[in-house]
Structure 1
C-alpha cells in the first residue's frame, strides 16, 4: 500500500479549495494543491527524519500517517524529510523509545562494571606474573607496571593477546618498557633529538642491568 505523500513546495502555492497560501506543506490531489486541513491531515504532527526507531514506532502506533518529501534540484528527485503522524501515536512511540534507552543505559552500566571487574582481575594477575618473573622488582613497582600496561584500549603490551595470556615475552616487554622510560635517560634522549632506534640502543645496557637485578 502506497503511503500518503505530502510535498514541501519549492515555490509559493495556494490551496485549490480554501485558497490559503503560501503553503508550507501540501497534498497534490488530481494535480491540484491542497493544504493539510483540506486534505484531512491537519491534525497530524511532523516528525523529522533521523531517528529510524522512533519513526517506525510512530507509524505502527497510529492509524494515519503520511510521508513528507521535498524536491532536490541538484539530484532531480524527491527526498524524504520526515513523516506526519498522529500526536498520540508519536507520544506512545517516544515512551517506547525512552524505555529502550533506559534499558540500553542499564545494559551499558552492567557491561562497564563487568569490564572493570575483569580489568581489576587481569591487572592483579599481571602484577603477580611480573613478581614471579622478576622477584626483585618492588611490589609497588610491579603493580604500577601492570596498571599502566593493562589499560583497556591503550594498545599497550598488556592489552595484546600475548599480554592477556600472560606470555612471558609480553610480560617482560611491559617491564622493559617501564624501565626504559623511568630508569634511563631514554626520554631525555628523545627530547634532545636523538632518533628512537639510536636512543633505544644507548639505553639497552642500563635496562638489561635493571632486569638482571630484578630477576635475582
Structure 2
C-alpha cells in the first residue's frame, strides 16, 4: 500500500522535531500528531519520480519496497492531485536500466524489421501466401503470410527461395508449411533443447504434424 505525502500550502511545524517547515513543504500526516517532515517520517531516503513515463513509474513502483504518492491540493479542481511518486533510489536505478534495455531492444527490432522489408520480395511473398491459403484453407488467419515471409526471405537458403518454390510447386509449398508447423505447433524445439537428435526429434513430432496438415487442408 502506498503512503501519502502532501505538498503543504500553509506554513507548518513538524510535530516531532519542531522544525519550521514553511509553505510548500513536503509533509507526512501522523495520526493524532499532525504534520511531520519527511526525515521524522523516515521517508527522506526516497527519491522523487515525476509523472510522464508510465513504464518507468510502473517498474520503479514494483521494485521499491517502500513508496509514497505525492499529492497537492488543486484550488481550481477542489481536490488533491497526484504529482508523482517517492521510491527507493535503487528501485529507480533498476527501473531506468530496464527501460533503457527496452528502448535499445525496440530500436534493434525496428532496424531488423526495416532490413527484413528490404530483403522481402513483397509480390513473391503475396503469391506464395495465396498458394499456401489455396492448399491449406483451414490454416489460422494470417498464418499464410507468416509462413511465406519466413520461407521467402532473400539469402536465407530456405525452401521458399528454391526454384521449385518460385514456381509455387505444391511439394515446395508443403515443405514450407510443414517446417512452420514443426516449429510453431509442436514441441520439436523443446526436444532439441533437451539434447535429442534432430532426426529423432522429427520422428517424435511427425504424427502431430500430419494431424495438423490434415486439419488445415479442410475448408
1:7 matched to 2:6? yes
Instruction: Determine the C-alpha separation between the residues in 2 that align with 1:34 and 1:94.
Output: 30
Larger radius of gyration: 1
Deviation at 1:117, TM superposition (A): 4.2
Contact 2:72–2:82 (CA under 8 A) maintained in structure 1? yes
Report Cα offsets for 1:166-190 as digits up to 9, x if no partner: xxxxxxxxxxxxxxxxxxxxxxxxx
Check 1:76–1:114 CA distance in 2 against 1; reply closer, same or farther (3 A cut): same
Aligned length: 122
Contact 2:2–2:66 (CA under 8 A) maintained in structure 1? no
Report Cα offsets for 1:95-149 as digits up to 9, x if no partner: 111111111111111122233445xx569xxxxxxxxxxxxxxxxxxxxxxxxxx
Partner of 2:25: 24
Deviation at 1:13, TM superposition (A): 2.2
Contact 2:49–2:86 (CA under 8 A) maintained in structure 1? yes
Deviation at 1:24, TM superposition (A): 2.3
Residue 26 of structure 1 aligns to a residue in which SS? Answer: strand
Give the TM-score of the pair, scaled to structure 2: 0.51
Instruction: Determine the C-alpha separation between the residues in 1 that align with 2:26 and 2:76.
Output: 21
Partner of 2:51: 49
Instruction: Determine the C-alpha separation between the residues in 2 that align with 1:57 and 1:51.
Output: 10
Report Cα offsets for 1:184-214 as digits up to 9, x if no partner: xxxxxxxxxxxxxxxxxxxxxxxxxxxxxxx
Unaligned runs of 5+ in 1: 124-216
Matches within 5 A, 1:53-64: 53-64=55-66
Please provide the CA RMSD for this pair.
Answer: 2.2
Instruction: Determine the C-alpha separation between the residues in 2 that align with 1:44 and 1:83.
Output: 9
Instruction: Determine the C-alpha separation between the residues in 2 that align with 1:122 and 1:110.
Output: 16
Partner of 1:78: 80
Deviation at 1:18, TM superposition (A): 1.4
Instruction: Determine the C-alpha separation between the residues in 2 that align with 1:63 and 1:93.
Output: 13
Unaligned runs of 5+ in 2: 124-219
